[in-house]
């Protein structure tokens, strides 16, 4: 170690701490919601399937969590009208 790094050397632990705090705040939200989105998707599918034949991959559920507003986006593509039965 020369005299120059003796004065300029920054400690690394605060960097580790900050990186972890950022990362975990994000990961906790993602892991927490992946289960919820899967459950919502299955239940929404089941409700729709009771009335309309719908393909599994035509139902998209997305959750977006932000600091101020969180949204749930559900996108369902129904089959063409002629085959649609009204229950």
Partner 1 sequence: MAKVLVVTSGKGGVGKTTSTAALGAALAKGGQNVCVVDFDVGLRNLDLVMGAERRVVYDLINVVQGDAKLAQALIKDKRCETLSLLPASQTRDKDNLTAEGVERVMGELREKFDWIICDSPAGIERGATLAMRHADVAVVVTNPEVSSVRDSDRIIGLLDSKTERAERGEEIQKHLLLTRYDPVRAERGDMLKVEDVLEILAIPLLGIIPESADVLRASNLGTPVTLSDATSAPAQAYMDAARRLNGEKIPMVIPDGRRSLFGKLFGRRAA
For partner 1, which is the closer residue by CB, 27 or 55?
A: 27
CA distance 22 to 74: 29
In this chain, which of 1, 13, 46, 69 binds partner 1, going by CB under 8 A? 13
Residue whose CB is less far from partner 1, 30 or 84:
30
Instruction: Decide whether 36 or 78 has the Cβ nearer to partner 1.
Output: 36
Smallest separation, CB 61 to partner 1 (Å): 20
DSSP state string for 28-61: HHHHHHHHHHHHHHHHHHHHHHHHS---GGGEEE
Tokens coding 3: 């005299």
């Amino acid at each position: 170690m020369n005299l120059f790094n003796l004065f300029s050397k920054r400690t690394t632990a605060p960097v580790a701490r900050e990186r972890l705090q950022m990362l975990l705040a994000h990961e906790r939200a993602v892991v927490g919601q992946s289960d919820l989105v899967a459950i919502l998707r299955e239940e929404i599918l089941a409700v729709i399937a009771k009335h309309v034949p719908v393909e599994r991959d035509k139902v998209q559920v997305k959750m977006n969590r932000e600091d101020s507003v969180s949204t749930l986006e559900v996108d369902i593509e129904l089959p063409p009208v002629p085959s649609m039965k009204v229950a």
